Structure 1
């Protein structure tokens, strides 16, 4: 053996010895690090935040790739545990494995055991409340091993197709404890799941536009409004109101300060499709728009869409408000009653036949409903009597025929009523002579909705909902006036006038909706709808009788409006597919086609819809959408208030449907536990929108209405920002909207064919809504709103000319339509709830202050003429040729909703 060979062997032995020493030291250090014990308290952490906290606490360094992901955030509380024990506990239900090497921890995606799989099976069923069996809408179902999932549809049904083998499902829903189900999937499986309520979570979660595994993951401008948040939002007279809460969302505003109208992304009030269990509501307001018709106790779920409308919705341009009502508790009776300054409410639900049939009943009314007259003012010669009331009644019966089949019967009735009666009689010393006058008027309006619904599961992949409904909105005004003079009960002089005016709309409809889930990556919806519309825009009759000195001078009946009903036939077909292209990219592609036939003419429209979402990782995502919408009905209105005299009319052979194309793009971040951030931009084009011609308007009559309007175009664009805090004792959101909306009518009859701002074009809007839970007994809420002013049309100056024969001519100079910008408005609402548990339930005292610092916002704005100059031109004979006045116009505002405190008592049993 040569010396070089010996040296080489010596070097090899030296290197091996050093490696052994280093490896021993590394293993020793690793063992020491493993034995280091720490205390750890982590709440709702993402993988990034969990890793960062462990690195700071232990000194380890984590290494992992983008494929390593959590299925649920980590909540962990451990004392005196080493790093291995912590990681094993954190990842025990996650598709993640770990490896410790020195000061480094390597994370790997846990490989799914692969075995020859030639078959797939479908798991389907209903997700319900564990206590009441109420179906849960939008509950998430996730297969944790494969990171795939779905969500329940509006009827609580889900379907998920998976490969044969070991399966682990996680069922979750906001406000409920998650439930895990592990089993061997060997055949199509029916799995109905009940989730138990987590009261603590229900109080602190507000609303979210994100569903972890939901089918609406591509939706933009979509907000799920939770009933807990509606109840905690302060409102006028303590009346929790669904539409008032929706007004706090970005891109949504009230037409008039303090009222319940909705103007979404530059659209008008008739461009919102408000639905009660899928049935359109034509008038959703009480008390001229101060409140909506929705009783919170009757509502289960509400979803607002401002853009990226799914193809299953249609008929309006600007928004969809989908309100779903309670089905009723299948197990036990419970309810609530409430007494407030304005209304009293009652809600009760329970089983008719346990586990098979349930009911839900809600009623709300002003106590004056039970009085013939609220105000009576009378003396020896006159008497005035007034009354106003409104009420709502919701009733629903839910029967489970089998695990595959359910039927529902539902009824809603709401009404507003106002009447005025006046009587006057003269002083006569001779009892045989009577002189009197009478005057009375009545105004009624309201909705009636009735439907039957059948849910049927054809198989584990195909679900069907069939609905047949009747829907009516009607308004009626009647009054009469009488002046009479009688002698010995014989009429000498009498003038009598009476009038009646009725309008409304009535729909009969049938609809079928199908949910088809061939595989987890595809969730397909398709269906059809037929509606028979009957419009009665205005039916007016009047009668005049005139008796002079005992002789009949006139006895005539007049028909002053169009008494012919206008009918329309509407047929719609739709299909949409929500599918995952890959792990990061998902699409919702759909199309809706509709046909509307009226007055011998048919209108056809094809409305494509497309929305997409891309997961950027680490809590960031981006979305984009395009939506085409068509609308076949119009609302003729003369005032900014929601008046019962507003008239619904259909398109005609001369008035075309309205169309809108909306483009949206947005960015979202949810990587910070308990917080969500979003920014959305949109651009909307509108065609065939209606405006009054200059100088004309409607006041409760549809006579020749087509001649009083013009069709034009509109454009609206804006930016919406929203920050939400969704977890903790303090929750809420801050929203800001920057927007601009213009209209143009090219024929020149309005504003000389130039662009002009829409009357509800408000440049800036801010809303802040907060809730804080001090304890189980006390919670509070606050909301603050700021809006820049809308626009009105006023003359800058006026001229009045009086001719010698007394003829007055008034003219005004107007530079353009909507030429005056109103002042900004802002207000603060406060509310606090005091809760106390009793033997049989919970009683709550609510104290609310509407407009807490008494901001004098302009609820009503009007113009006033003020003379500034006078010109008198004499004729030389002591008379004048004419005289002329020049005047200026000043704007006056009227505040009708100042600071208003209220107290409400509620008992839930």
Structure 2
């Protein structure tokens, strides 16, 4: 009996010795490192391929009764198996495992207060960076763990840092920094400020929330913010188009909710083509941008409109001494909202002091005095947008725009001239866009979208002038010199776009984007002289686009994006291949190097026309590869960014070559379309410091844009009309809630004389200082804001770019009319919302 008892005790002790308990507690640890720890802690004998097992990460917090149970648990979802040979555990690649479990994470980033989707939010998921799409949606697939550590940031919002489980339809809400309650103090979370640059080559993002505190509050706050950024021309106050990195008229595309805004002519920098109440996010692509975007050889500004509040009624009113602006957001069945916004001028924006009549005749010519311009201007626009989501998370939207402006001026020549000088311009823009985005259960997203926009531009010039020649005694009539001109130009351009875009998360570090689009353009141009039609052109063009883009995070330090865009022109029966490539290298925690290059094509061209008086006009044409070639540009961008402790320093160099420029000249020497080329070289410098709730930045652009056309007498490159060597811009915003103070200053070194002379009087420095003060009064039911904004505080006499007009005097001389830029302009505003 005792002998049997001893045998049983020995068996039990042997079993207990074999059933060695194992405790594992780790988060995102590499499998090879974990096995080494288990080997050392429990005196195990292990054999494995260290490099192979380092590819897998595990997260475990559990106790196991034996090493075998621990290994079975660790390897259950991995293509790794093990065997025990004597006392040694052998780990090897399991070739029989053809599939493994994957974990899907998808969702949307929204505003916590208004439920607005936050487009292009920055996410860090398990240390890897990514960006949401235009609807704030994101998705990724992981094979290592079902838990995700997420950091979400968006301009003007508090940073969010959290851990979530795998799943779909996740909603991450961020709190805007401008929403403040005195009873609540937010601690331990910093605010992501107003501007973001340097994350990618040639890419900049701006949060419109801060724009309302900049000088010029009101109807042009969107572009008041843009003009202060590096690479975007501010001097000269170009109101017809955005000049980015030396781009010509029509080479920069402005998108709002997916439709194109053709030009932004408004003759006043206090009103822009985009209602500030409607703007939510501004994405600026200055050059060498990804394959998803195309159709222009210059920059691209993509503005996302608000979706409206789906929970409660929202009303906003803005009143200043120029316009009335209002917005109404109405929730519809808890999942959608209807937004209406309207602007209308009600006060004469100009007086005779805002436009000057300049005498640029010879020094021996008699001066011309007592000339006055009488301008007239009015503007109105209407936005209507309906958007929402389905119970399954799909999103949809319909957005429309109707805009109209009229400008005219009469010149009173009360001295030596008699007659009429009159200019007028009438612009009408109509646009419509719609999309439906399907979110698939496996993480992919498909977006079906369509857009249509059209611009109708009518320009008229009437010059029925008679100069009275003196007969020598100051009383006689003498010889009369007449100038008769009655010209009407009508230019219409339209674009219809139908596209399908797909985003597919292939793996945790691998995202694939592909899509296609079909685009139709129609352009017509008519010129009448004294009611006789002398030119009539109607052209159409269409093209099919296909793009593929592969974004790979090769490591935490290196991100690579390879893209290819191809456009097949149906009217030209020709393919155009546009490869794109970009890379981001995280040199240290603070320094990042960005590189990008690509080829870009443009199939509609805003060509320049020089009339017989030497004045420039611009009109849209379809590229036919005969008289109007397809524009072709090569972009190269290199950038270095330093970001640490709320300080940002960005240095970005750019080089562009563009072929296919066209210029129509009609004078005594020529009447033909000439082809040209341009090249732009430059450097952008950006420094920004956030201190507490305040912010300040300085931007500097050094650039040179040269052009060469066939009609040049010497085939050398000359300065382009918009070429400016130096531009410095500074801004500061102080937030002493409820008081906000801001100021900005712009210096530009000037533009060349459009008459192709070396006039130092024309190329003079640009200086403009703007200031603003705002007071906000907030209650539980409404917010009231009031303030004063002063543009050109020092009343510096600046010239306005591209508003130069020549009026012939006699066969040898001419008088020149140059519109001055914004003078000293105080603006009182009152904003109300509830």
Fold-level match, TM-score > 0.5? yes
Q: Identify the match of residue 661 of structure 1 among 631, 634, 643.
A: 634
Q: Identify the match of residue 459 of structure 1 among 425, 430, 441.
A: 441
Aligned: 1:247 with 2:227: yes
The alignment partner of 1:245 has SS state of helix
Per-residue Cα deviation, 1:225-266 (whole angstroms, up to 9, x for no partner) = 11123212213x854432232122112114734646422112
CA distance in 1, matches of 2:768, 2:420: 44
Aligned: 1:787 with 2:787: no
1:694–1:638 CA distance, 2 compared to 1 (3 A): closer
- Single out whichever of 287-296 and 118-127 deviates more from structure 2: 287-296
CA distance in 2, matches of 1:561, 1:862: 22
State the match for 2:794 in structure 1. 853
State the match for 1:711 in structure 2. 675
Aligned: 1:502 with 2:474: no
Per-residue Cα deviation, 1:803-835 (whole angstroms, up to 9, x for no partner) = xxxxxxxxxxx69xx999701111101011011
Per-residue Cα deviation, 1:633-669 (whole angstroms, up to 9, x for no partner) = 12134599xx997321111241211111111212111
CA distance in 2, matches of 1:134, 1:696: 59
CA distance in 2, matches of 1:708, 1:820: 31
CA distance in 2, matches of 1:733, 1:575: 37
Per-residue Cα deviation, 1:453-490 (whole angstroms, up to 9, x for no partner) = 111112332101111222111124689999xxxxxxxx
State the match for 1:227 in structure 2. 208
1:302–1:167 CA distance, 2 compared to 1 (3 A): same
CA distance in 2, matches of 1:149, 1:761: 37
Q: Identify the match of residue 777 of structure 1 among 731, 735, 738.
A: 738
The alignment partner of 1:783 has SS state of strand
The answer for unaligned runs of 5 or more in structure 1 is 1-66, 69-109, 211-216, 370-383, 423-436, 483-496, 544-557, 698-704, 796-813, 868-883
1:297–1:311 CA distance, 2 compared to 1 (3 A): same
CA RMSD of aligned residues (A): 3.8
Aligned: 1:901 with 2:826: yes
Comparing both chains, which one has the higher relative contact order based on Cα–Cα distances under 8 Å and sequence gaps of 6 or more? 2
State the match for 2:658 in structure 1. 686
The alignment partner of 1:472 has SS state of strand
CA distance in 2, matches of 1:793, 1:501: 21
Q: Larger C-alpha radius of gyration, 1 or 2?
A: 1
1:258–1:761 CA distance, 2 compared to 1 (3 A): closer
Q: CA deviation at 1:895?
A: 3.3
Aligned: 1:766 with 2:766: no
1:539–1:464 CA distance, 2 compared to 1 (3 A): farther
Aligned: 1:561 with 2:535: yes
Q: CA deviation at 1:340?
A: 0.6
Aligned: 1:350 with 2:327: no
State the match for 1:615 in structure 2. 586
The alignment partner of 1:365 has SS state of strand
Per-residue Cα deviation, 1:428-463 (whole angstroms, up to 9, x for no partner) = xxxxxxxxx999997531211112211111233210
Aligned: 1:274 with 2:254: yes
State the match for 2:365 in structure 1. none
CA distance in 2, matches of 1:412, 1:644: 29
Q: Identify the match of residue 604 of structure 1 among 553, 569, 575.
A: 575
State the match for 2:553 in structure 1. 580
The alignment partner of 2:225 has SS state of helix
1:351–1:716 CA distance, 2 compared to 1 (3 A): same
1:439–1:741 CA distance, 2 compared to 1 (3 A): closer
Per-residue Cα deviation, 1:510-558 (whole angstroms, up to 9, x for no partner) = 1111111111212221111111211112265976xxxxxxxxxxxxxx4
- Single out whichever of 114-123 and 128-137 deviates more from structure 2: 114-123
Per-residue Cα deviation, 1:596-637 (whole angstroms, up to 9, x for no partner) = 244xx3342111111111111131111111121111112134
1:204 and 1:728 in contact (8 A); partners too? no
The alignment partner of 1:229 has SS state of helix
State the match for 1:363 in structure 2. 342
Equivalent residues in 2 for 1:515-594, closer than 5 Å: 515-538=503-526, 540=528, 558-562=532-536, 564-594=537-567
2:581 and 2:597 in contact (8 A); partners too? yes
1:166–1:534 CA distance, 2 compared to 1 (3 A): closer
1:149 and 1:160 in contact (8 A); partners too? no
Equivalent residues in 2 for 1:790-801, closer than 5 Å: 790-794=751-755
The alignment partner of 1:282 has SS state of coil
Q: CA deviation at 1:307?
A: 2.0
CA distance in 1, matches of 2:707, 2:760: 13
Q: How many residues are paired up?
A: 678
2:234 and 2:746 in contact (8 A); partners too? no
The alignment partner of 2:291 has SS state of coil
The alignment partner of 2:293 has SS state of coil
State the match for 1:843 in structure 2. 784
CA distance in 1, matches of 2:218, 2:658: 38
1:689–1:865 CA distance, 2 compared to 1 (3 A): closer
1:440–1:739 CA distance, 2 compared to 1 (3 A): closer
Aligned: 1:396 with 2:369: no
1:402–1:822 CA distance, 2 compared to 1 (3 A): same
CA distance in 2, matches of 1:393, 1:650: 29
State the match for 2:142 in structure 1. 162
Equivalent residues in 2 for 1:76-225, closer than 5 Å: 113=59, 115-116=74-75, 117-118=77-78, 119-143=101-125, 146-163=126-143, 165-174=145-154, 175-179=156-160, 182=163, 185=166, 189-199=168-178, 205-209=193-197, 217=199, 219-225=200-206
CA distance in 2, matches of 1:729, 1:473: 42
CA distance in 2, matches of 1:793, 1:480: 22
Aligned: 1:297 with 2:277: yes
CA distance in 2, matches of 1:896, 1:453: 40
